[in-house]
Each structure stands twice: as structure tokens, then as C-alpha cells.
A and B are shown apart, each in its own frame.
Chain A
Amino acid sequence: MAETTKIATRDSYGNALKELGATADNLVVLDADLAGATKTATFQKAFPERHFDCGIAEANMINVAAGLSTMGLVPFVATFAMFAAGRAYEQVRNTLGYPHLNVKIGATHGGISVGEDGASHQCCEDFALMRTIPGMTVMCPSDDVEAKAMIKAAYELDGPVYMRFGRAATPVFHEAGYKFEIGKGEVLHEGKDVAIIATGIMVPEAISACEQLEKDGVSVYLINMPTIKPLDNDLVLDAAKKCGRIVTVEEHSIIGGLGEAVAGYLSEVHPTPVKRIGVNDEFGHSGPAAELLEAFGLCADNIVKVTKGFI
């Protein structure tokens, strides 16, 4: 993957908003003093009158977005995952989720790949928090192409959406023209020994792991799962029936995220051993993103190691 282009999905967010803004007149963007980091500054530069900075007050920003949505606007809200899903959880739950309002949360700086800022800013709990809200769509794109398609799909969906984007530049592996659908997984490789289901920036790592495992004689059914909720149950069940063993990979706590969603579903319909690769119920720490991902086992080498030990 060394030669591939690398783009952070937060950049995809800013670029996609700018692109959408050209035709979607009712789209407005809210930020909480982080427009440079969340990349909504890209949109702000193109459409300054449609970008509302709310200052460092994330709870207020979520409610302001709720109010704007009732006036017929489609607000995209931006801040770090820690503050969108964490700080403003109750605002999201009660004033976006409960009335099912048409607000899109674009949360950047998810996971430990935030890097040097350390544990206070490394949100590994957002999937878990957002999944528990009835009617909330929860997604995490695997690369730039998917992120842009996801943002467009989120705009077209009527209802609250949570999307997690990354800070670090990661490989772009989808071809232009890739068809994205909310609630559908993508089969990247057919196989029969074990299924690997990954989301977000763990997908390129899982692709590398899959190549290595195939070389070593392990047949891998590889799935990219950009929508955490609603989960593509049919595809998960198909993988379980074909392989009998599933490894999940996410840059998130092993508690409450993709792994638990997969395990929870399968335990009810087709009990299947599931091995969850993620952050093992611990806080992150400072360091360069690449070093941290390796240290926490969120890399191709560890996926290969864990998968071999599991089958």
C-alpha cells in the first residue's frame, strides 16, 4: 500500500461539505472553534454566510443545530469525537435522538490515532455511546472515497446521523465511482476459513493482513463495515455461516463497538466465535499516530497474529 495516496477523512469531510454546499442550499455547518482542525474551514471559505462558529460550547451547538433543523435547514455539526459524542451526549440523546431531528454530526479526531494530544482527546467510546440512541445512524468511513459518498448519503437521509472521521492521513483504496449505501457492508475478498470485519481506518490494515494471511494459506472473507448501526445483519450472518469464525477490527474500545454489535447479533441468531480486536478497555497516551496504532495492536501484523491464533 506504500504507493497509494493518503488522505485524512477529516479532509474528506471539509471537501465533501464544500462540494455538497454548491447544490444543497439548505445545508449549513456549525463548528466549535475547531474549523481548522475539523476542516469545515474549507466549507467556510466557500460559503462564509452558511458557517456558524459556536465557540467552545459543544452542548449549546448541538441544540442550536436542532433548532436550525426545525426551520428546514440541514445542519452538519463538527467538533472532535470526544466532545460530540462525549461532552454533548445528553444533548444528542434528548434533543436530536428523541425527536429524531435531521442533524448530521461529523465528529473528527476519533480513536487513538489522534496521536500526540493523548488520552484526553482520544475518543474510543463514541460508537458505543451513539449506538445506544434509538434511530441514530452510526458510521465510520474507511477512506476518502467512502467518506465523501457517506457524507452525501447522510445529507440525503432524513434523520440524525453520527459519522466519525480520522485525524491521520490514511490510504485511499476505493476506486472513484464506488457505490456506497448506508447499512450495507462491502465484501473486499471472498474466503472460507475466517471472516475479518473491519471499520474505518482499520480497513486498509485488514486488507494488508488479508494479503499476508492468504500467502500463508489462510482463506479470508474480508468485509468493510462502514455502517456500525444499522448493522448489515445479512452480511454478518453470511460471513458466520461461510467461515464459522469472525475477527472484528476497529479503532474503538472492544466494549460497545462493532465487535459487540456483531457478537450480539450472532449470539441470538447463529452463535459463532467472535474475536474482537480494538482498544482493550484502557486509555490511550501521547505519541505519533503510527506508533500508537502499532502499540495498541491496531495494525496488519497484529491482525495476522490474532487471526492465526484464533482459527
Chain B
Amino acid sequence: MSWTIHHSKSEEYASQAEAALKQGNAERAAKLYQSAAKEEETALTKLDTSKVRTLGITTVSAASLWFKAHNLRQAEHVAFQWLATDFLPDFAVDQLQTILQSIWNEKIYQQAGIEFMKGEVLVSVGGGEVVPGGAPLHLILRKVDEVRNFFYRTIEMLLNLPFRKHGSPSSEIQEQFRPWLLQAPFGSYQFAVRVQKPTQMSLFPEDTPEVEEVTRKFLKIVEDAAKENHEDLKSTVPSPEYRETFLKLSRNLAPTGKSFNRLEIKSATDMEARPIVFSPTSRQTINKTLREIKRPPEEKMQLEEEQVRGVLRALHLDQDWLEISFPGTDRENIRIYQTGDVIDDLVGPMVNHRVIVDVGLRPDGKRLFRDIQSEE
């Protein structure tokens, strides 16, 4: 039988596998991909090696099919076998090397017993103190922390959990949905984040389909939060409490222009997806949205409004205050009260960093909390 017949059979099996995947039948899909891979490998043996382009396409196809059939050993074997020859065109060599990298990554995760949710988020920062491939550690640590908090909030919302005002996510959530920091391609300064699949997905039976989409939802929320018009965010995040928190988390991600001036978030798996770009003006946009959605408390009208810039030195949310210091000046620390609306995971990453706090100043000098944002 010729290349054509075996390749056609492979196409047929692969199409059926794709249909099975769409129906959620991963087991049947893997079996069909295996049949497709076998046919494609047989097709390879029937090819005249002078048909360089056909050979290259078929080899990549065979290795990909074995990979999709979860037979990493065989996928690796096909790739090595043909890379060792001089028959393959450049594009096929390039693609097979990419497949090998994916195989090795997958093997490492499998050996460690790790399975990830769909999708991967790529975060890159640039400008200011950031240089290609390097950035101040404190800046990256904060961004990683903020992205992690954003993911946890997204997961809680997808699981329909009551809105969390204080403390960290429950230990169950932290244990079951572990965000991972992965190496990213060389860029301005980039890191990639994926969420590990819960080892006990059965704990969340009713929410399984939704929560599997956590990365996609995360990206949609970030995209909508960055928009001037917040109508889309309303439909993506119907709960007003979650919506306000996501807006504030997004504002924290945005640069002020001091230590960096651009932050991009995009899907690492969908190369065509438009990156979501945060610049210093994004903060103004989000602040405008926040002002629109939040009605001022009645007593606010009687208070003088003040903006305090300093370092968030202490936080005592149970006693309802936070403290700002002014390093390098003679000014004494001040306390700001009525922090009831402050959310732990919003202000946590700001401790010991420069912040801007909006306050209402009472005639007796007491400062009442309105809003807080990072100044770095």
C-alpha cells in the first residue's frame, strides 16, 4: 500500500480522535490518536525520501500523533530516528525539536506526578529598571505574588465560594490548585504561570468544567478590567464584590512608571491572542472605573480628601488600621483607620513598599481609609 492510503487512514483516525475529544471522551481520543500515529509511521516507510516536503510534514505529523496518544516514548523515537538522517527539510527539524522539548517537559511533569490545567499565562515587564532578561528581584516577587492572588480569586469565583474579605484562600484551595512558575522564553523580562490540576478534582464535582477553564477566565478578567468601558467586566464577573477586587488587583499589576512602565499578560498557548498591555495610564483608567462603581459613603462629603504617599509599614486589619511611614523625612508615622473594606490579598504584597492612600480627613485630624494602591 502507498503513502497516500496510510496517510488517508491516519487522517480519518485523527479526525475521529478530534471529535472524541470534543465530546469529552479523552480515553477514546487517545486510542484513536494511537491508530492514527501507527498509520502515519507506516506511511513514512512508503515514502520516497526525495519527496522532502512530504517527508517533513509526515514525520512531524507522526511524532505529534504519538504525543497526542500520550505515548511519549514512541513520539521521541520517531523524532530522533528522523532527525538522525539528512533527509528532513529545515522546517521539519525545527518543529521536531519543539516536539522533543514538549515531550521532555511532559515527562518531567509525569515523573513528578504533576498534571496542569489547560493554558498558560505569560507575564512580561519592561521599561524603567527592567533590562532584557533581568529585573529587580523585589519587583518580580511582587508581580508573581499579585498574579498568584489573582488566580486564587478567579478559582474561588469559579467555584462560587463566598467572597473572602480577610485571610488567605482556604488550605483546601491552596493545596488543590497550586500555581506554578515556569521558565519562559527570553524576553524583556518574562515569567510563565500554570495552575496544577487538583489531585482530588472529585472535591469539586459540580464545578469541574468551569474550574478547568481557570486560565482562560483569568485572561478574560484581566482583559476586561483593563478596558475603559467596564460593561464587559460586568458580564464576566457578575458579583460586584469580586468585580471591585479584580479591578484593584489589576490596578496593582499596572506600572506607575517608576521601576517599570509596561506589563503585558498574554496566553502562552494561543500565539495569536492579543496581549493585554498595562501602562501607567491603565491605572488612571482603572481608577476611573473604580470611582464609577463605588458610591462614596455619605459622611465622605463632609470630610476633606487627602492623598498620603509613603511606605505601608504596618497593617492591623482586625483592629481596623494601617500605618504609613515616611522614610528619609522627619515626618512621624501616621495611622489610617476604618480599613474595613481592605482585602488582605490586595494590601499584603504592598507591605514595606511605597503606596498611595486616599483618606478622608476628619476635623479632629483622624484619617479614615478610602483606597490604597501601590506607588511602585
Partners in one complex: no
Chain B residues in the interface with A (C-beta under 8 A): none
